[in-house]
Structure 1
Amino acid sequence: MKIVSLLLLVGITTAECKKSGSDSPIVSPPVVVTPGDDYKDPVAYGTPFSKVPNTTDAVIYEVNLRSFSAQANLKGLQGRLDNLKSLGINVIWLMPIYPVGQLKSAGGLGSPYAVKDYNAVNPEFGTLDDLRLVVEEAHKRDMSVILDWVANHTSWDNAWIANKSWYKQDANGNIIIPPGTNWADVAALNYDNADLRKAMIRAMKFWVLTANVDGYRFDAADFVPTDFWKQALDTLKKFDTRKLILLGEGSKKEQLTAGFQLNYAFDYYNALKSIFADTQAPSALFTTNTNENNMLINGTYKLRYITNHDVTSSDGSAISIYKGKQGALAAFVLVATMDGVPLLYNGQEVGCPNKIDFFNRDAIDWTTNPEMLEEYKKIIAFRKSSAALKIGALTVFNHPDVMAYEKKSGTDDVVVLVNARNTTVNYSLPTALQNTVWENGLTGDVVNLTTSVTLQAYGYLMLKK
């Protein structure tokens, strides 16, 4: 077995790369030193964080370091931690912080998902000490930090490529890109190889111990065999003094059985986008919600979002997808209150209009739309205060234009009304809600319901008993 942290890589240039008939770049193999297998876990740095939130309490925020601050690095993130705290965030997800491969077929600075070295910090973003300081300062503010982990593939100049059997190959023995993709800047890993599995798990353990991070968001989880996820997650859970967040970018039920606490609500996002595009009825969201919940096992949840780094790259900004600032807020009310765990992507909270390209430094103007930022804070605070919103039983009130539902947990009782149309709607209340008295969950005002409620275009009302 090769000790991955000691492999020495001789870099290549993009001029040394070309496409083969298998769409795989042919590169000069890295030079490696292969010591004996005397691996030991690194010495743990810091004290395990004792306030990692329960899954139902999590509000997750995805940070793209290239866009999040003017410095575009970890020091820039550190300088904005108080902003995340005031927003109501308690879990920070960092997009990959590792060195990027030199084959940048997608252009710009290269994809952070083309990992050149699993055990190093990309100098573009800073140093290991910078990462440690971010984690320490986040912990002081009662926020967890999770790293993005890319298990499906590596860059073509990752030192692991010297171990050809660790990679998928075509009939001619050429290492290939991930099947079914056009990701020419990465090489597909082969999980039939036991040594690869061991090296990957050791690399995962490295950051938990070396930087005191609180878990991972696992990229492209559907592409990696479920039995590997069980092997890896079982190993991570042996850190019995640590509470780790384990989020998979996948949709399979067996991933939850294998140990993920969360995986993706892909269908929910697609239904939400279609409703705001007027190509599906609002009822489609409840159908999708039920179908996704039926895939869960006890203690697991779906990650719900209106945007993320992939969405903004493919579909545009949230205010573009949801027909403006008010539409984006209405959509977020749904993902924050219906079921599941909410995610925000950097810039969403100020209505960033840009289609952020994570291959480049697309800076966010944090001074835009301060009223949106304040509204996001109120929505998140209401969610965090309400057991009903986090875990309550859902009752749906079907309507052709309004997504209306009640959630109850014990004595906690909440009603949410969201106008899915870009026009004013007069919503006739169901009998159960008529002539009742509530409190506005965002303002604290008393609300006396009669027989109907007028909701402005993409308007919403969040009520509590």
Structure 2
Amino acid sequence: IIGMREYVLPGWIDLMDPGGTTMSLHFSYPLAVLFLFLSCTFTLQSQLDDPSQDWKKYNIYQIVTDRFSTSNPNITTNCPDLTKYCGGSWKGITLRLPYIQKMGFNAIWISPIVKNNDIPGGSMGYHGYWMSDLSQVNPHFGTEQDLKDMVKAAHNEGISVIVDVVANHVGPLLQEGDFSQFVSFPKPEYYHPKCDIKDWGNQTQVEVCRLSGLPDLDQKHPYVRSTLNNWITSILEEYNFDGVRIDTVPEVNIEFWKEWRALIGSQRYVTGEVFNGDVNYVGNYANTLGATLSYPMYFTLLNVFAYGGSMFQIRQTLNAYAKAVKRPDLLSTFIDNHDNPRFLNRQSDMYKYKNALTYVIFAQGIPIIYYGTEQSFHGGADPNNREILFNRFDDTTNLYQFIQLQLKYKNHYAASLTITPHIECYVTDRFYAFSRDKFFVATTNVGTQGGTQTHTITFHPYSNGDVICDLFWGLGDCITVRNNSFNVVLQHGESKVFVPKSWILKE
């Protein structure tokens, strides 16, 4: 069930069957409630039997390993040049796992782990995407044992570990034609002939030419294919990773990804980077891998919350997903990452940011929150959006506690929340509300100077007489459902998340 066509009754609702087919039904409100109940009941058992159900409970915290934490908490380190290594390590991540777990995250996404090469006198492979030797881990991050210890410690904290991997390219060439620096792929025949991607609408060019000048591996070459296949299976077994984030997915022929998806196994979450706003283009890869980063929704949320675009765009993107993606509930939803300027660099209004974060946390999809969000990081384009977090692990900041509170509720009620659909309840250009299970989420993009908004809600998951409370204010902001409706009042651009009064958790 994807969403209401209109927020007044009667209306339209889009439905998607397990095969991905969509249809529209016209209804009166009582019939709609009965139909929703029967639809959810019908799909409940199949969802419970789905191994991906555990992934839908993920709240992922993305870490740039080199920028997160050093091994020694007593060392105060500055990093004046963000194109170089700054000193973050796997031991540092291990040290700060309680900080992550306390915030409410149960999964982390870490940088690629293999040894990288550098440009002499220039940029370094601190990010992990300039592979030189698949057989070695990046010594700047630590040893193989450090990595194993970090994964084990994370698992002991109830945190799954998703590893970032690259199969499209290697690091920058020091001398054109000399591939000997790349230990795993030292021969010219392992690469596509030199050309640069200039036309992103030409898929052949995207797959065989170089991204940012980086030598492009030929995955159809038997040695390249077998080496990459053996490597991915070996690191998953060796380090016991729970999931995989795949870099530069469209730059590789899709047949290769079908093989990799089978090798990774159905028990691990896989999400791929398809840096594109076209839902159909992204959907092709999502249907192959199981999920991708939700870039079409990212661009939508950016337009809506940062730039004040109509909130009807959210409906449009969700409906497009329903038609193009088999499992839109597994897409990775985000508002910040290492490849884009941070939200607060584009838009400084904190309430607009909070609304975007509330949407990411509770809406359809698996949420990813980028490290430093909780400390109000506001870096611009790469590398300035990859700031160091060293010695800034403050769990009293407003955003840390804002995220923590929402994840506290989401985790507590995850068993029922994750098996219920995202249902649009009310939408205007400046207001978007939806429900999942007994959660009613109200967001707006008017910002701090937006004054007061009042909306009467008639489509919702509650019954007459139910008392519902906003989790941000607890028992201080409760309302009673009467005549099948209630009023939502938002002041100064705030977001609200209502739950039944009996669901309010003690501090």
Smaller-chain TM-score bracket: 0.7 to 0.9
The answer (yes or no) to whether the contact 2:194–2:209 under 8 Å persists in 1 is no
Question: Would the alpha carbon gap of residues 52 and 252 (structure 1) be closer, same or farther in structure 2, given more than 3 Å must change?
Answer: closer
Tell me which residue corresponds to 1:424.
Answer: 451
Q: Superposed, which structure 2 residues align to 1:34-433 within 5 Å?
A: 54-71=54-71, 72-103=88-119, 107-108=123-124, 111-155=127-171, 156=173, 157-170=181-194, 183-184=212-213, 186-237=214-265, 243-250=267-274, 252-258=282-288, 260-298=289-327, 301-311=330-340, 315=341, 317-355=342-380, 357-358=382-383, 362-364=387-389, 365-367=392-394, 370-384=397-411, 385-386=413-414, 389-393=417-421, 394-407=423-436, 412-422=437-447, 423-432=450-459
Give the whole-Å Cα distance in 2 for the aligned partners of 1:276 and 1:106.
37
Give the whole-Å Cα distance in 1 for the aligned partners of 2:122 and 2:417.
41
Deviations 1:405-460 (A, max 9, x none): 223xxxx3221111211212322213346986313234542611575433123311
Give the whole-Å Cα distance in 1 for the aligned partners of 2:257 and 2:121.
29
2:495 equivalent to 1:460 = yes
Give the whole-Å Cα distance in 2 for the aligned partners of 1:366 and 1:226.
41
The answer (yes or no) to whether the contact 1:426–1:454 under 8 Å persists in 2 is yes
Structure 2 residue matching 1:117: 3-state secondary structure: strand
Give the whole-Å Cα distance in 1 for the aligned partners of 2:97 and 2:120.
31
Question: Would the alpha carbon gap of residues 217 and 179 (structure 1) be closer, same or farther in structure 2, given more than 3 Å must change?
Answer: same
Q: Read off the aligned partner of 2:360 and give its amino acid letter.
A: V
The answer (yes or no) to whether the contact 2:209–2:216 under 8 Å persists in 1 is no
Deviations 1:64-111 (A, max 9, x none): 112111441111111001111111111111111222213369725555
Give the whole-Å Cα distance in 2 for the aligned partners of 1:182 and 1:198.
23
Give the whole-Å Cα distance in 2 for the aligned partners of 1:326 and 1:350.
15
Q: Read off the aligned partner of 1:255 and give its amino acid letter.
A: Y
Question: Would the alpha carbon gap of residues 105 and 310 (structure 1) be closer, same or farther in structure 2, given more than 3 Å must change?
Answer: farther
Q: Structure 1 length as normaliser, TM-score?
A: 0.77
Give the whole-Å Cα distance in 2 for the aligned partners of 1:135 and 1:63.
14
Give the whole-Å Cα distance in 2 for the aligned partners of 1:356 and 1:345.
14
Query: What is the RMSD of the two structures over their aligned residues, measured on CA atoms?
Result: 2.9
Give the whole-Å Cα distance in 1 for the aligned partners of 2:468 and 2:293.
33
Q: Read off the aligned partner of 2:420 and give its amino acid letter.
A: G
Give the whole-Å Cα distance in 1 for the aligned partners of 2:207 and 2:217.
8
2:479 equivalent to 1:448 = yes
Q: Read off the aligned partner of 2:64 and give its amino acid letter.
A: N
Structure 1 residue matching 2:134: 3-state secondary structure: coil
Tell me which residue corresponds to 1:6.
Answer: none
Give the whole-Å Cα distance in 1 for the aligned partners of 2:53 and 2:418.
13
Tell me which residue corresponds to 1:10.
Answer: none
Give the whole-Å Cα distance in 2 for the aligned partners of 1:350 and 1:73.
20
The answer (yes or no) to whether the contact 2:65–2:110 under 8 Å persists in 1 is yes
Alpha-carbon shift at residue 254 of structure 1 (Å): 3.5
Per mean C-alpha deviation after superposition, the further-off stretch among 412-421 and 270-279 is: 270-279
Give the whole-Å Cα distance in 2 for the aligned partners of 1:322 and 1:180.
35
Question: Would the alpha carbon gap of residues 264 and 324 (structure 1) be closer, same or farther in structure 2, given more than 3 Å must change?
Answer: same
Alpha-carbon shift at residue 123 of structure 1 (Å): 1.1
Structure 2 residue matching 1:159: 3-state secondary structure: coil
Q: Read off the aligned partner of 2:479 and give its amino acid letter.
A: N
Question: Would the alpha carbon gap of residues 295 and 221 (structure 1) be closer, same or farther in structure 2, given more than 3 Å must change?
Answer: same
Q: Structure 2 length as normaliser, TM-score?
A: 0.71
Give the whole-Å Cα distance in 2 for the aligned partners of 1:395 and 1:111.
38
Give the whole-Å Cα distance in 2 for the aligned partners of 1:86 and 1:368.
9
Question: Would the alpha carbon gap of residues 356 and 366 (structure 1) be closer, same or farther in structure 2, given more than 3 Å must change?
Answer: farther
The answer (yes or no) to whether the contact 1:403–1:417 under 8 Å persists in 2 is yes
Gaps of 5+ in 2: 1-50, 72-87, 174-180, 196-204, 275-280, 501-507
Alpha-carbon shift at residue 355 of structure 1 (Å): 3.8
Question: Would the alpha carbon gap of residues 300 and 233 (structure 1) be closer, same or farther in structure 2, given more than 3 Å must change?
Answer: farther
Q: Read off the aligned partner of 1:440 and give its amino acid letter.
A: D
The answer (yes or no) to whether the contact 2:329–2:366 under 8 Å persists in 1 is no
Alpha-carbon shift at residue 307 of structure 1 (Å): 0.3
Question: Would the alpha carbon gap of residues 164 and 73 (structure 1) be closer, same or farther in structure 2, given more than 3 Å must change?
Answer: same
Alpha-carbon shift at residue 463 of structure 1 (Å): 0.8
Deviations 1:225-276 (A, max 9, x none): 1111111221232xx8xx3221211363333443x23212111111111112
Q: Read off the aligned partner of 1:272 and give its amino acid letter.
A: L
Give the whole-Å Cα distance in 2 for the aligned partners of 1:210 and 1:359.
33
Question: Would the alpha carbon gap of residues 67 and 346 (structure 1) be closer, same or farther in structure 2, given more than 3 Å must change?
Answer: same
Give the whole-Å Cα distance in 2 for the aligned partners of 1:109 and 1:198.
25
The answer (yes or no) to whether the contact 2:185–2:224 under 8 Å persists in 1 is no
Give the whole-Å Cα distance in 1 for the aligned partners of 2:385 and 2:157.
29
Alpha-carbon shift at residue 386 of structure 1 (Å): 4.5
